[in-house]
Amino acid sequence: MAHQPVRLRPRRRKPLVRALSAATAVLAAVAVVAGCSSENSGAAASSASASGSSAAAAFPVTVTPANGRITVRSRPQRIVSLSPTATEDLYAVGAGKQVVAVDSNSDHPAGAPVTSLSGLTPNIEAIVKYDPDLVVASQDSGGLVAGLRKLGVPVLIEPAAATVDDAYDQIEQIGRATGHSAQAARTVAGMKSAIASTVKQAGTDHANLTYYWELGANPYYSATSSTFVGQIASLFGLKNIADKADKASDGGYPQLAQEYIVSAQPQLIFLSDNESSAGGQTPAIVAARPGWSGIPAVRNKEIIGLDDDVASRWGPRLPQLVAQIAQAVAKASDR
């Protein structure tokens, strides 16, 4: 899913909304710093190399991603990322200067070396042209791991996180594998602090607010509370209308009939299908859907166009997603 900032309508801001807006601004600034941190890490790495200490002394390193125990013999200097989330993680932990190529969907941070490489249908020959000493991907497609293992290139498979702790673990693991354990730990600590602060401000007892999380329209697909994004929304105690429609075969992502959504009367609608490649849905389009005018979220204009990228990834910008949800909760609670 291609997936970028939420535009909330102007209205009289109450204290909680103002506080959350300020928190969002701070998080945006933190994201910029994280994206630029690779420049400082490059200088730090050069210093460590000259002194023969720090990062150089930390290797070899053994980590255990989804594809089993992997040993990285020396600090990688040519990293290829085949996952948008992994790309964000790499830059956030300070390994940006070591990244020589990223896949075509890695659109953040700006300045990442985007190529035509694909994480869904990886071409080992094309990957090898970048002479990588570490490859990070979200899935082992097309014999990626076995093919690169034959060439002596370690691969970390970091799949979509099932829980928030999984997301933290992946960031720290990528930090260890690239020689940036300390900065990875700081990144995770900053995320935890920002999320905890936002949730505390917005509150966790909003079971009176029901919501519909839209992944796609025509047909309508949603995410239940058991999914990663569903767990994020659950931090605020929100009630998910998709939970009752979920079947074991859905894996937490049921297809909902339009009549079901209308009859469920959600008070909040979150759209993660805003971009044209993901459906191009907008609050205006949703409001114009036949039969939807009576839904409380539509009637009260509580349709939130999320940043598609942030909503579909599980990396260092996760606090921004939490802040977007918190703003919507605060606004709906003020009503």
Q: What is the pLDDT of residues 65-85, one digit of tens each?
A: 999 999 999 999 999 999 999
Each residue's pLDDT tens digit, 259-291: 999 999 999 999 999 887 778 999 999 999 999
Kindly tell me the burial class for residue 250, based on how many C-beta atoms sit within 10 Å of its own C-beta (0-12, 13-18, 19 or more): middle
Q: Is 4 helix (H, G, I), strand (E, B) or coil?
A: coil
Residue 206 pLDDT > 90, yes or no?
Answer: yes
Residue 94 pLDDT > 70, yes or no?
Answer: yes
pLDDT value at position 198?
98
Each residue's pLDDT tens digit, 152-191: 999 999 999 999 999 999 999 999 999 999 999 999 999 9
Residue 334 pLDDT > 90, yes or no?
Answer: no
Each residue's pLDDT tens digit, 114-155: 999 999 999 999 999 999 999 999 999 999 999 999 999 999
pLDDT value at position 172?
98
pLDDT value at position 276?
79
pTM of this structure? 0.83
**312: closest CA among 192, 138, 186?**
138
d(CA 23, CA 325) in angstroms, rounded, equals 12
- Within 10 angstroms of residue 171's Cβ, the number of other Cβ atoms is 28
With bands split at pLDDT 50, 70 and 90, how would you rate the model's confidence at 232? very high
